[in-house]
Structure 1
Amino acid sequence: MMTRHSDSYRTPARLFHWLIAVAVLLMIPAGLIMTQKGIARPLQDALFLFHKNMGVILIPLILLRLIYRLRHPAPPLPSSIPAWQRSAASVSHWLLYLLLIVMPISGFIRVRAGGFPIELLDRLGVGPWLAKSDALADAAKGLHYAAGMALIALLALHIGAALQHGLIRRDGVWTRIWPPLRPRS
Protein backbone atom coordinates (compact mmCIF):
# COMPACT_ATOMS: atom_id res chain seq x y z
CA MET A 1 0.00 0.00 0.00
CA MET A 2 1.50 3.35 -1.00
CA THR A 3 0.96 6.55 0.97
CA ARG A 4 -0.45 9.72 -0.49
CA HIS A 5 1.85 12.75 -0.41
CA SER A 6 -0.25 14.31 2.38
CA ASP A 7 0.67 11.28 4.51
CA SER A 8 4.39 11.76 3.83
CA TYR A 9 6.97 13.94 5.48
CA ARG A 10 7.83 17.13 3.64
CA THR A 11 11.12 17.31 1.77
CA PRO A 12 12.96 19.39 4.44
CA ALA A 13 12.02 16.84 7.11
CA ARG A 14 13.24 14.02 4.87
CA LEU A 15 16.54 15.79 4.22
CA PHE A 16 17.08 16.55 7.92
CA HIS A 17 16.27 12.92 8.79
CA TRP A 18 18.67 11.36 6.30
CA LEU A 19 21.53 13.87 6.73
CA ILE A 20 21.49 13.39 10.49
CA ALA A 21 20.95 9.62 10.17
CA VAL A 22 24.00 9.20 7.93
CA ALA A 23 26.15 11.39 10.17
CA VAL A 24 25.09 9.57 13.34
CA LEU A 25 25.52 6.15 11.75
CA LEU A 26 29.08 7.16 10.81
CA MET A 27 29.82 8.68 14.21
CA ILE A 28 28.76 5.61 16.21
CA PRO A 29 31.46 3.27 14.90
CA ALA A 30 33.99 6.12 14.92
CA GLY A 31 33.21 6.78 18.59
CA LEU A 32 33.36 3.10 19.52
CA ILE A 33 36.62 2.44 17.64
CA MET A 34 38.49 5.62 18.64
CA THR A 35 38.25 4.81 22.35
CA GLN A 36 39.61 1.26 22.06
CA LYS A 37 43.09 0.41 23.25
CA GLY A 38 45.57 -0.82 20.66
CA ILE A 39 44.23 1.32 17.79
CA ALA A 40 46.96 2.78 15.58
CA ARG A 41 47.53 6.37 16.68
CA PRO A 42 47.02 7.94 13.20
CA LEU A 43 43.66 6.16 12.85
CA GLN A 44 42.67 7.09 16.38
CA ASP A 45 43.58 10.76 15.78
CA ALA A 46 41.60 10.83 12.52
CA LEU A 47 38.55 9.30 14.21
CA PHE A 48 38.73 11.79 17.09
CA LEU A 49 38.98 14.69 14.62
CA PHE A 50 36.01 13.40 12.63
CA HIS A 51 33.89 12.61 15.71
CA LYS A 52 34.47 15.93 17.51
CA ASN A 53 34.02 18.14 14.48
CA MET A 54 31.00 16.25 13.14
CA GLY A 55 29.42 16.65 16.58
CA VAL A 56 29.87 20.41 16.28
CA ILE A 57 28.21 20.36 12.85
CA LEU A 58 25.37 18.22 14.15
CA ILE A 59 24.39 20.55 17.01
CA PRO A 60 22.85 23.25 14.79
CA LEU A 61 21.46 20.66 12.34
CA ILE A 62 19.68 18.82 15.16
CA LEU A 63 18.34 22.06 16.64
CA LEU A 64 17.08 23.17 13.21
CA ARG A 65 15.49 19.77 12.72
CA LEU A 66 13.77 19.98 16.09
CA ILE A 67 12.48 23.50 15.39
CA TYR A 68 11.23 22.34 11.99
CA ARG A 69 9.54 19.31 13.60
CA LEU A 70 7.81 21.49 16.20
CA ARG A 71 6.52 23.80 13.47
CA HIS A 72 5.60 20.96 11.08
CA PRO A 73 4.16 17.99 12.99
CA ALA A 74 4.65 14.49 11.65
CA PRO A 75 1.96 13.30 9.25
CA PRO A 76 -0.54 10.94 10.83
CA LEU A 77 0.27 7.25 10.85
CA PRO A 78 -2.00 4.98 8.81
CA SER A 79 -5.19 4.03 10.66
CA SER A 80 -4.10 0.38 10.49
CA ILE A 81 -1.38 1.04 13.10
CA PRO A 82 -2.54 -0.05 16.58
CA ALA A 83 -2.74 2.61 19.31
CA TRP A 84 0.12 1.06 21.33
CA GLN A 85 2.40 1.26 18.28
CA ARG A 86 1.41 4.90 17.72
CA SER A 87 2.34 5.65 21.34
CA ALA A 88 5.58 3.69 21.10
CA ALA A 89 6.51 5.52 17.88
CA SER A 90 5.83 8.91 19.43
CA VAL A 91 7.79 8.17 22.62
CA SER A 92 10.72 6.66 20.71
CA HIS A 93 10.90 9.61 18.30
CA TRP A 94 10.98 12.15 21.14
CA LEU A 95 13.59 10.07 22.98
CA LEU A 96 15.67 10.05 19.80
CA TYR A 97 15.46 13.85 19.66
CA LEU A 98 16.46 14.08 23.32
CA LEU A 99 19.45 11.77 22.84
CA LEU A 100 20.46 13.58 19.64
CA ILE A 101 20.66 16.78 21.70
CA VAL A 102 22.37 15.23 24.74
CA MET A 103 25.06 13.45 22.72
CA PRO A 104 26.79 16.40 21.01
CA ILE A 105 26.35 18.72 23.99
CA SER A 106 27.81 16.21 26.45
CA GLY A 107 30.60 15.49 23.96
CA PHE A 108 31.33 19.21 23.63
CA ILE A 109 31.44 19.61 27.42
CA ARG A 110 33.66 16.54 27.79
CA VAL A 111 36.15 17.82 25.22
CA ARG A 112 36.24 21.46 26.29
CA ALA A 113 36.22 20.79 30.05
CA GLY A 114 38.96 18.23 29.41
CA GLY A 115 41.07 20.99 27.86
CA PHE A 116 41.07 19.47 24.37
CA PRO A 117 40.67 21.32 21.08
CA ILE A 118 37.72 21.23 18.74
CA GLU A 119 39.53 22.12 15.57
CA LEU A 120 36.55 23.46 13.61
CA LEU A 121 35.55 25.85 16.39
CA ASP A 122 39.15 26.83 17.04
CA ARG A 123 39.61 27.72 13.36
CA LEU A 124 36.48 29.84 13.52
CA GLY A 125 37.90 31.68 16.55
CA VAL A 126 35.30 30.33 18.95
CA GLY A 127 36.68 30.23 22.45
CA PRO A 128 36.48 27.19 24.70
CA TRP A 129 33.41 28.56 26.61
CA LEU A 130 34.31 26.28 29.53
CA ALA A 131 37.17 26.31 32.00
CA LYS A 132 39.18 23.12 32.32
CA SER A 133 37.55 20.87 34.91
CA ASP A 134 38.38 17.20 35.27
CA ALA A 135 35.24 16.61 37.37
CA LEU A 136 32.97 18.19 34.74
CA ALA A 137 34.81 16.40 31.92
CA ASP A 138 34.42 13.05 33.69
CA ALA A 139 30.70 13.64 34.37
CA ALA A 140 30.13 14.63 30.74
CA LYS A 141 32.12 11.60 29.58
CA GLY A 142 29.90 9.31 31.65
CA LEU A 143 26.73 10.96 30.35
CA HIS A 144 28.03 10.80 26.76
CA TYR A 145 28.74 7.09 27.11
CA ALA A 146 25.40 6.23 28.75
CA ALA A 147 23.43 8.32 26.26
CA GLY A 148 25.43 6.73 23.43
CA MET A 149 24.49 3.22 24.54
CA ALA A 150 20.84 4.29 24.87
CA LEU A 151 21.00 5.89 21.41
CA ILE A 152 22.42 2.70 19.87
CA ALA A 153 19.63 0.64 21.45
CA LEU A 154 16.91 3.08 20.40
CA LEU A 155 18.31 3.32 16.86
CA ALA A 156 18.30 -0.47 16.60
CA LEU A 157 14.63 -0.44 17.62
CA HIS A 158 13.86 2.42 15.20
CA ILE A 159 15.63 0.77 12.26
CA GLY A 160 14.06 -2.60 13.09
CA ALA A 161 10.58 -1.05 13.16
CA ALA A 162 11.24 0.78 9.88
CA LEU A 163 12.39 -2.43 8.21
CA GLN A 164 9.39 -4.30 9.58
CA HIS A 165 7.03 -1.67 8.13
CA GLY A 166 8.93 -1.44 4.85
CA LEU A 167 9.70 -5.09 4.12
CA ILE A 168 7.13 -7.14 6.01
CA ARG A 169 3.97 -5.11 6.55
CA ARG A 170 4.39 -2.87 3.52
CA ASP A 171 1.89 -0.50 5.07
CA GLY A 172 3.29 2.78 3.73
CA VAL A 173 5.06 3.86 6.91
CA TRP A 174 8.51 3.47 5.30
CA THR A 175 7.54 5.48 2.23
CA ARG A 176 6.56 8.44 4.41
CA ILE A 177 10.27 9.24 4.94
CA TRP A 178 11.90 7.52 1.94
CA PRO A 179 13.16 8.63 -0.50
CA PRO A 180 14.93 11.66 0.98
CA LEU A 181 13.52 13.87 -1.78
CA ARG A 182 9.80 13.81 -2.33
CA PRO A 183 8.89 12.29 -5.70
CA ARG A 184 7.32 14.68 -8.15
CA SER A 185 3.61 14.31 -8.69
Structure 2
Amino acid sequence: MANLVNGYRRPARWLHWIIAALVLLMIPAGLIMVQKGLPRPVQDTLFVFHKNTGVILFFLIAARLIYRLRHKPPPLPDTMPEWQKRAAGIAHFALYALMVIMPVSGYIRVRADRFPIEGLDALGIGTWLPKSPELAAVAQSIHVTCAFILIGLIAVHIAATLQHALFYKDGIWSRIWPPNG
Protein backbone atom coordinates (compact mmCIF):
# COMPACT_ATOMS: atom_id res chain seq x y z
CA MET A 1 0.00 0.00 0.00
CA ALA A 2 2.90 2.35 0.63
CA ASN A 3 3.72 2.43 -3.08
CA LEU A 4 0.35 4.02 -3.81
CA VAL A 5 1.35 6.90 -1.56
CA ASN A 6 5.07 7.12 -2.37
CA GLY A 7 5.15 5.97 -5.94
CA TYR A 8 3.20 5.62 -9.12
CA ARG A 9 0.59 2.89 -9.31
CA ARG A 10 1.38 -0.28 -11.21
CA PRO A 11 -0.49 0.63 -14.44
CA ALA A 12 1.35 3.96 -14.66
CA ARG A 13 4.67 2.22 -14.10
CA TRP A 14 4.01 -0.40 -16.77
CA LEU A 15 2.83 2.17 -19.29
CA HIS A 16 5.89 4.31 -18.57
CA TRP A 17 8.36 1.48 -19.14
CA ILE A 18 6.62 -0.02 -22.17
CA ILE A 19 6.43 3.40 -23.82
CA ALA A 20 10.04 4.16 -22.84
CA ALA A 21 11.29 0.89 -24.36
CA LEU A 22 9.38 1.44 -27.60
CA VAL A 23 10.47 5.07 -27.92
CA LEU A 24 14.09 4.07 -27.29
CA LEU A 25 13.77 1.53 -30.12
CA MET A 26 12.08 4.05 -32.41
CA ILE A 27 14.86 6.61 -32.12
CA PRO A 28 17.66 4.56 -33.70
CA ALA A 29 15.24 3.04 -36.22
CA GLY A 30 14.12 6.51 -37.29
CA LEU A 31 17.66 7.84 -37.50
CA ILE A 32 19.03 4.85 -39.40
CA MET A 33 16.15 4.30 -41.84
CA VAL A 34 16.75 7.63 -43.61
CA GLN A 35 20.47 7.10 -44.18
CA LYS A 36 21.63 7.08 -47.79
CA GLY A 37 23.12 3.86 -49.11
CA LEU A 38 21.27 1.61 -46.70
CA PRO A 39 20.34 -1.73 -48.28
CA ARG A 40 16.70 -1.53 -49.39
CA PRO A 41 15.50 -4.59 -47.39
CA VAL A 42 17.00 -3.13 -44.19
CA GLN A 43 15.51 0.28 -44.92
CA ASP A 44 12.08 -1.21 -45.69
CA THR A 45 12.13 -3.25 -42.47
CA LEU A 46 13.03 -0.18 -40.42
CA PHE A 47 10.29 1.90 -42.08
CA VAL A 48 7.67 -0.81 -41.46
CA PHE A 49 8.79 -1.15 -37.82
CA HIS A 50 8.86 2.63 -37.28
CA LYS A 51 5.42 3.32 -38.81
CA ASN A 52 3.62 0.45 -37.09
CA THR A 53 5.29 0.96 -33.73
CA GLY A 54 4.29 4.63 -34.00
CA VAL A 55 0.65 3.56 -34.28
CA ILE A 56 1.00 1.31 -31.22
CA LEU A 57 2.71 4.12 -29.32
CA PHE A 58 -0.10 6.53 -30.16
CA PHE A 59 -2.62 4.28 -28.42
CA LEU A 60 -0.33 3.53 -25.48
CA ILE A 61 0.36 7.25 -25.00
CA ALA A 62 -3.37 8.00 -25.20
CA ALA A 63 -3.95 5.36 -22.51
CA ARG A 64 -1.17 6.86 -20.40
CA LEU A 65 -2.61 10.36 -20.73
CA ILE A 66 -6.10 9.18 -19.80
CA TYR A 67 -4.68 7.29 -16.83
CA ARG A 68 -2.64 10.33 -15.78
CA LEU A 69 -5.71 12.58 -15.93
CA ARG A 70 -7.64 10.15 -13.73
CA HIS A 71 -4.83 9.36 -11.26
CA LYS A 72 -2.82 12.21 -9.85
CA PRO A 73 0.93 11.48 -9.72
CA PRO A 74 2.53 11.07 -6.31
CA PRO A 75 3.92 14.26 -4.81
CA LEU A 76 7.57 15.09 -5.25
CA PRO A 77 9.71 15.03 -2.09
CA ASP A 78 9.54 18.09 0.12
CA THR A 79 13.33 18.20 0.02
CA MET A 80 13.27 18.88 -3.71
CA PRO A 81 13.84 22.57 -4.53
CA GLU A 82 10.88 24.39 -6.06
CA TRP A 83 12.78 25.19 -9.25
CA GLN A 84 13.40 21.46 -9.79
CA LYS A 85 9.71 20.69 -9.21
CA ARG A 86 8.75 23.33 -11.79
CA ALA A 87 11.38 22.06 -14.23
CA ALA A 88 10.13 18.49 -13.78
CA GLY A 89 6.55 19.61 -14.45
CA ILE A 90 7.54 21.49 -17.60
CA ALA A 91 9.69 18.58 -18.81
CA HIS A 92 6.92 16.04 -18.26
CA PHE A 93 4.40 18.25 -20.04
CA ALA A 94 6.81 18.65 -22.97
CA LEU A 95 7.48 14.89 -23.08
CA TYR A 96 3.76 14.15 -23.26
CA ALA A 97 3.18 16.85 -25.88
CA LEU A 98 6.02 15.58 -28.05
CA MET A 99 4.87 11.97 -27.67
CA VAL A 100 1.50 13.03 -29.09
CA ILE A 101 2.93 15.23 -31.83
CA MET A 102 5.35 12.56 -33.06
CA PRO A 103 2.86 9.82 -34.05
CA VAL A 104 0.31 12.35 -35.35
CA SER A 105 2.87 14.13 -37.54
CA GLY A 106 4.29 10.78 -38.65
CA TYR A 107 0.82 9.54 -39.59
CA ILE A 108 0.09 12.72 -41.55
CA ARG A 109 3.47 12.60 -43.30
CA VAL A 110 2.99 8.97 -44.39
CA ARG A 111 -0.68 9.11 -45.32
CA ALA A 112 -0.57 12.47 -47.13
CA ASP A 113 2.12 10.95 -49.38
CA ARG A 114 0.01 7.78 -49.79
CA PHE A 115 2.51 5.43 -48.17
CA PRO A 116 1.14 2.37 -46.39
CA ILE A 117 0.90 1.77 -42.68
CA GLU A 118 0.81 -1.98 -42.88
CA GLY A 119 -0.88 -2.67 -39.54
CA LEU A 120 -3.68 -0.20 -40.16
CA ASP A 121 -4.05 -1.32 -43.77
CA ALA A 122 -4.35 -4.96 -42.65
CA LEU A 123 -7.21 -3.90 -40.37
CA GLY A 124 -8.93 -2.16 -43.29
CA ILE A 125 -8.26 1.31 -41.89
CA GLY A 126 -7.45 3.43 -44.88
CA THR A 127 -6.05 6.90 -45.09
CA TRP A 128 -8.25 9.69 -43.78
CA LEU A 129 -6.28 12.39 -45.56
CA PRO A 130 -6.21 13.70 -49.10
CA LYS A 131 -3.02 13.18 -51.07
CA SER A 132 -0.97 16.29 -50.45
CA PRO A 133 2.79 16.42 -50.93
CA GLU A 134 2.74 19.90 -49.34
CA LEU A 135 1.00 18.63 -46.18
CA ALA A 136 3.37 15.65 -46.10
CA ALA A 137 6.37 17.97 -46.29
CA VAL A 138 5.11 20.16 -43.42
CA ALA A 139 4.34 17.07 -41.31
CA GLN A 140 7.77 15.64 -42.07
CA SER A 141 9.43 18.89 -41.00
CA ILE A 142 7.47 18.90 -37.75
CA HIS A 143 8.24 15.21 -37.18
CA VAL A 144 12.00 15.62 -37.70
CA THR A 145 12.24 18.81 -35.62
CA CYS A 146 10.24 17.33 -32.76
CA ALA A 147 12.27 14.10 -32.94
CA PHE A 148 15.48 15.95 -32.14
CA ILE A 149 13.80 17.97 -29.39
CA LEU A 150 12.41 14.72 -27.95
CA ILE A 151 15.84 13.06 -28.06
CA GLY A 152 17.31 15.99 -26.13
CA LEU A 153 14.50 16.03 -23.62
CA ILE A 154 14.80 12.27 -23.06
CA ALA A 155 18.54 12.72 -22.43
CA VAL A 156 17.79 15.42 -19.84
CA HIS A 157 15.07 13.22 -18.28
CA ILE A 158 17.45 10.26 -17.97
CA ALA A 159 20.25 12.47 -16.61
CA ALA A 160 17.94 14.00 -13.99
CA THR A 161 16.69 10.54 -13.01
CA LEU A 162 20.23 9.23 -12.63
CA GLN A 163 21.16 12.29 -10.58
CA HIS A 164 18.27 11.63 -8.20
CA ALA A 165 18.95 7.87 -8.06
CA LEU A 166 22.72 7.95 -7.66
CA PHE A 167 23.50 11.22 -5.91
CA TYR A 168 20.45 12.58 -4.11
CA LYS A 169 18.95 9.16 -3.29
CA ASP A 170 15.69 10.97 -2.55
CA GLY A 171 13.20 8.33 -3.72
CA ILE A 172 12.46 9.79 -7.16
CA TRP A 173 13.71 6.62 -8.89
CA SER A 174 11.69 4.30 -6.64
CA ARG A 175 8.52 6.18 -7.54
CA ILE A 176 8.58 4.59 -11.02
CA TRP A 177 10.84 1.53 -10.61
CA PRO A 178 10.31 -1.39 -10.45
CA PRO A 179 7.29 -1.74 -12.78
CA ASN A 180 5.62 -4.15 -10.33
CA GLY A 181 6.18 -1.81 -7.39
Which residue identity does 2:73 align to in structure 1?
A
- Tell me, which stretches of 5 or more residues in structure 1 are unaligned? none
Offset, 1:37: 0.5
Name 1:74's counterpart in structure 2: 73
What is the number of residues matched between the two proteins?
179
Give SS of 1:66's match: helix
| 1:76-121: CA deviation from partner (whole Å, max 9, x where unpaired) | 0111100000000000001000000000000000000011000000
Which residue identity does 1:129 align to in structure 2?
W
Name 2:98's counterpart in structure 1: 99
Matched, 1:56 2:55: yes
Give SS of 1:147's match: helix
Name 2:160's counterpart in structure 1: 161
Offset, 1:58: 0.9
Task: Give runs of ≥4 in structure 1 deviating > 6 Å.
Answer: none
Name 1:7's counterpart in structure 2: 6
Offset, 1:127: 1.1
Aligned ranges 1:18-167 → 2 under 5 Å? 18-167=17-166
Which residue identity does 2:86 align to in structure 1?
S
Offset, 1:170: 1.0
| 1:27-79: CA deviation from partner (whole Å, max 9, x where unpaired) | 00000000111111111110000000000111111011001001111100111
Give SS of 1:44's match: helix
Distance 1:68 1:37 in 2: 41
| 1:143-177: CA deviation from partner (whole Å, max 9, x where unpaired) | 00011011001000000000111111111100100
| 1:6-46: CA deviation from partner (whole Å, max 9, x where unpaired) | 11000000001000000000000000000111111111110
Which residue identity does 2:133 align to in structure 1?
D
Which residue identity does 1:47 align to in structure 2?
L
TM-score (norm 1): 0.95
Distance 1:74 1:35 in 2: 38
The percentage of counterpart residues that share the same residue type is: 59
Distance 1:79 1:173 in 2: 11
Distance 1:159 1:87 in 2: 17
Give SS of 1:140's match: helix
TM-score (norm 2): 0.97
Which residue identity does 1:13 align to in structure 2?
A
Give SS of 2:177's match: coil
Give SS of 1:172's match: coil
